[in-house]
Amino acid sequence: MNAEGSGRNTLFHLILDAEGLLRLTWARGASITEADAESAMEDVNALCGSGRHPMLVDMATTAEVSRGARTVFGRPCQASRIALLGSSPVDRVIANFILGINKLPCPTRFFTSERDALAWLKVV
């Protein structure tokens, strides 16, 4: 059974799949603001309730992540570990900005292969 986020923001799509994996997909060409990041994290926390789940974040072709959004992504949420999935050198640069936050709230890595990202997320 899939559970979905509030759907109030069309810039991203969020589901909690039957295997307990959060899948957050940002729209192609998205410029993620602090408000967008807040909305996504609120939906993650609401969807998880008191449980924690691994999360795959598809950020392929994201245009920009604001400084405020990066700050929001540096705060704890109900994700137990986060795999950032991208496909281009620009995605890697954006991910490096996020990964460059001094103290991330959970293990977080960048991948260009969904298969590798999923394998890493399933590590206990």
- Residue-range domain boundaries for the chain: 3-121
Residue 1's pLDDT is: 34
Provide the whole-model pTM: 0.86
The alpha helices in 16-80, defined as continuous H runs, are: 34-48, 67-73
Q: How confident is the model at residue 104 (pLDDT cuts 50, 70, 90)?
A: confident
Q: For residue range 29-57, list pLDDT tens digits in order.
A: 899 999 999 999 999 999 999 999 999 99
Quote the distance between the C-alpha of residue 105 and its chain's center: 13
At the top level of CATH, the class of 3-121 is: alpha beta
Q: What distance in Å separates the CA atoms of residue 11 and residue 7, rounded to the nearest whole number? A: 9
The answer to whether 77 touches 44, Cβ cutoff 8 Å, is yes
- What SS3 state is found at 82? strand
- Please provide the average confidence, as pLDDT, over all residues in the chain: 86
- Fill in the amino acid letter for 107: P
Q: What distance in Å separates the CA atoms of residue 26 and residue 82, rounded to the nearest whole number? A: 14
